Amino acid sequence: MAAVLAGLGGALPAGVVTNDDLCRELDSTHEWIETRTGISERRMVAAGQSTRDLAVEAGARALKSAGRSEVDAVVVATTSADRLCPAVAPEVAHQLGLGTVPAYDLTSACSGFLYGLASAVGHIASGVADRVLFIGAEAFTTMVNPGDRGTAPIFGDGAGAVVLRRGRPDEPGAVGPFDLGSDGSLADLLAIPAGGSRQRSATGGPGHEGVPAEDWFLHMEGRPLYVQAVERMTASSRAVLDRVGWSVPDVDVFAGHQANVRIVRAVAEELELPDDRVAVNIDRVGNTLAASIPLLLIDAVVRGRLNPGQRVLLSAFGAGLSWGSTALTWPDLSVEEVC
Ligand code: COA
């Protein structure tokens, strides 16, 4: 028995923000951002639009792609939920007309898609569910200081969703073994200090005495993260290839988390994977955290880069620190372009 990928769908906010748009308010240039990150533009939510809205849209498309609207559970991976409490997943399930199914959020930043996928697979493996809707959804640009040139250019908003169903391990789409890991000793490299139980929201909002305004936004140390991302994604990819019994030349498409095109290329180089096997969409969407890999897979499918029968390696890295990888043979899915 295995969990098999049965549906895939995505959502992006309509608002396109180019590097030039950003640089009107930011001490940076299109050239710097594009050269150092590979990003040309990203999507940002409009006022009043939230992670839930993107999750609902992506979820509806994934259910359509799967050809059936019933599921037994909804899992949402997000680090930018609409509110600290409650989780966004029950509202998403409600808005999708899924009734009173179990629904919860999971927070694992940029590795959220891998952690959430493992959870969804676990529900099927344990017999708790036959079909699971799993969504990675983020409006993370709302958590980034628009005046911080170290973080503002990097992130984008979006959502990607999959439907998993109970199936056989030898079917295309059977999600393979996982490698997951974390290192909390480096938690401060990527963090939003305020708003949780440590710097209590009860002591006031942005600008409150004792809670510096910038602590309500993301803090990031880019250089050490870069090094960790390359090391962890490379080691995790190798671990999963060992578990699934593939060697590097067996991989047709490497779908690595889109944090920086240089990170993805560096991992591919470490693995000795040729450039033409590396999927990239960061130029158009930026880093969308838990939505990154499903949006990348959709892009690869609609561009004809990823076809049924091809072997895909997924790998992600993010705050926590946390990382994860898995592999699957691509199934025959009908996937709508996300505009
Ligand atoms: N525009 C212009 N200059 C910028 C800039 C920007 N947007 N951001 C930083 N700089 C400057 C710095 O101030 C620094 O100047 P200095 O040399 O005069 O001090 C210089 O560019 C180099 O900065 P550095 O931070 O070392 O750049 P970098 O090449 O490491 O690129 C990141 C920065 C953030 C793009 C890169 O470190 C990265 O992608 N890290 C990983 C981030 C990540 O993965 N985050 C999410 C985890 S999933």
The per-residue b/e assignment along 79-89, b for 16 or more CB within 10 angstroms, e otherwise, is bbbbeeeebbb
pLDDT, tens digit, for every residue of 35-79? 999 999 999 999 999 999 999 999 999 999 999 999 999 999 999
User: Does residue 37 line the site of ligand 1, with CB under 6 A?
Assistant: yes
Q: For residue 203, what pLDDT is reported?
A: 54
Give residue 317 CA to ligand 1 midpoint distance, Å: 17
* Strand arrangement of the beta sheet that strand 178-182 belongs to: 178-182, 322-329, 311-318, 253-256
Instruction: Kindly give the distance from the C-alpha atom of residue 74 to the centroid of ligand 1, in angstroms, as a whole number.
Output: 36
Token pair for residue 75?
Answer: 């899992």
Do 238 and 311 have their domain in common? yes
Q: 145: Cβ below 6 Å to ligand 1?
A: no
The pair of structure tokens assigned to 214 is: 């910038």
Residue 94 and residue 224 share a domain: no
Residues belonging to the active site: 110, 257, 287
227 and 298 inside one domain? yes
Residue 301 lies in domain: 178-185+218-329
CATH assignment of the domain containing 301:
3.40.47.10
Q: Which residues of 238-276 are buried (b: 16+ CB within 10 A; e: fewer)?
A: bbbbeebebebeebbbbbbbbbbbbbbbbbbeebebeee
Q: Are residues 140 and 261 in the same domain?
A: no
Position 200 scores a pLDDT of 65
Q: Are 230 and 271 in contact (CB under 8 A)?
A: no
Based on the fold, state whether residues 140 and 245 are members of the same structural domain: no
Contact assessment for residue 231 and residue 320, using Cβ atoms and an 8 Å cutoff: no
Minimum-distance ligand 1 atom for the alpha carbon of 37: 35
Please tell me if the CB atom of residue 190 comes closer than 6 angstroms to any atom of ligand 1.
Answer: yes
- Residue 111 CA, ligand 1 centroid: distance in Å: 21
Q: Could you say which residues of the chain have pLDDT below 50?
A: 202
Answer whether 195 contacts ligand 1 (Cβ < 6 A).
no
Q: Compute how many other C-beta atoms are within 10 angstroms of the C-beta atom of residue 191.
A: 17
Let me know whether 163 and 222 are in one domain. no
Overall domain count for the chain: 2
Is the CB of 259 within 6 Å of ligand 1? yes
Predicted pLDDT of residue 208: 56
Q: Tell whether 202 is covered by a domain.
A: no
Phi, psi values for residue 209, rounded to 5°: -55, 130
